[in-house]
Amino acid sequence: MTSLGDVATVTPEKPCVRRRSVRVQKIMSGMPEKGGHLTFGHKFALAVGAGPITLPLITTTVYIQMFLLDVARVLPMYATTIIVVARILDAVSDPTVGAIVNKTQEKGGSLRKWMLFSLPISILSFFFLWWVPPFLTDQVMVFIYYMIVYTVLQMAFTMYSIPFCSLVMYQSTDESERDAATSFRLVGEAVFAVLSLFVVRFSELITDSGSLENSNCLLTNSLVGPETVGRYRQTFMMQGAVGSLIILISGLYCFFGSMENTDIHIDAKIGMLRSFKNCMTFKPYLLLAFAYLG
């Protein structure tokens, strides 16, 4: 004769109880439900994660030419070659890194691990980009040094930016939630763009070098004296140190504060040419591109 206790032990758990327990586990772990509402913390982490992208991009775009010519004293021909080659390699590395990230993700890889892997490379290359090696006196060696550092920075930038931008698609199956996450990311990029300029101003105040824009140190290599060059070397070194610290903090905050829903599967069978055609025939994208170019 079966007792009441034996019946209790063999009674299967109800489906509603299992669903409720899974839901509780997700809530306790801070993970939103599949297709559910994203918390403010996850969206804010995506906004903060824009730092390792925007800060190096703005500072190098605005100041790299002036730094190479007037502070590092690189010959104009070499400085132009460094910038052009780095941009060409950056354009080539975008689809290459994208394909590699896609392959590793199909095998169970993580976008956030790519971001974490690129962080130390970005930090070191960004810091040493604004450093003038005192032991390099030959122009060819100086050219090789900055060529390597700048191209490595561009590669690290690509290895972080592609997984980071793709991470939005793995936040939720709800399109409105993904749009909200994208809005947070775009706001973060705008904030870090302004912050990158404040980093330069902060470096000028700390080193007491005066404004870079209002000095003779604007593409006038022959007019800059040794004392002025020394002050601006300190300014750019301070900029590299502060910027590297911001990249570290923002990157780690995004890694630990964001999430990646591995239950979301995106069809990756569309080829690159088909994807390019889809982009070129998508009217909102074309309007945005023309507005940006205009």
Residue 244 has a pLDDT of 92
Is the predicted pLDDT of residue 135 greater than 60, yes or no? yes
Of 26-35, 90-99, 145-154, 274-283, the poorest mean pLDDT is in 26-35
Q: What is the pLDDT of residues 236-276, one digit of tens each?
A: 888 889 999 999 999 999 999 887 776 666 655 666 677 77
Helices (H), the chain: 4-10, 15-28, 40-48, 51-66, 76-106, 111-129, 139-166, 175-207, 226-257, 272-280, 283-293
Residue 229 has a pLDDT of 67
Mean pLDDT calculated for residue range 6-19? 44
| CATH topology for the 40-293 domain | Growth Hormone; Chain: A; (1.20.1250)
Nearest residue to 66 via CA among 195, 198, 207, 200: 200
Backbone φ and ψ for 157, nearest 5 degrees, come out as: -60, -45
Structure tokens at 166: 């793709």
Residue with the two structure tokens 């069978």 = 269
Mean pLDDT calculated for residue range 153-179? 84
Rounded-to-integer distance, Cα 116 and Cα 246, Å: 15
Burial of 280 (C-beta count, 10 Å sphere; 0-12/13-18/19+): exposed
Burial of 246 (C-beta count, 10 Å sphere; 0-12/13-18/19+): buried
Does the model's pTM come out above 0.85? no
Long-range contact pairs involving 232-237 (C-beta distance under 8 Å, separation at least 24): 232/70, 232/71, 233/71, 233/132, 234/207, 234/209, 235/200, 235/203, 235/204, 235/207, 235/209, 236/63, 236/67, 236/71, 236/130, 236/203, 237/130, 237/131
Using 50, 70 and 90 to split pLDDT, how confident is the model at 216? very low
Q: What is the pLDDT of residues 170-202, one digit of tens each?
A: 777 777 888 888 888 888 888 998 888 888 777
Is the predicted pLDDT of residue 150 greater than 90, yes or no? yes
Residue 99 has a pLDDT of 80
CB half-sphere exposure, 160, CA atoms < 13 A: 31
Using 50, 70 and 90 to split pLDDT, how confident is the model at 110? confident
Is the predicted pLDDT of residue 220 greater than 70, yes or no? no
Long-range contact pairs involving 99-108 (C-beta distance under 8 Å, separation at least 24): 101/162, 101/163, 101/166, 102/268, 106/268
Residue 42 has a pLDDT of 86
Of 59-63, 175-179, 214-218, the poorest mean pLDDT is in 214-218
**Domain ranges within the chain, ordered by starting residue:** 40-293
Mean pLDDT calculated for residue range 60-74? 86
Contact indicator for 253, 45 with CB cutoff of 8 Å: yes
Is the predicted pLDDT of residue 34 greater than 70, yes or no? no
Element (DSSP H or E) covering residue 69? none
In this predicted model, which residue has the larger pLDDT, 271 or 117?
117
Backbone φ and ψ for 114, nearest 5 degrees, come out as: -60, -45
CB half-sphere exposure, 151, CA atoms < 13 A: 16
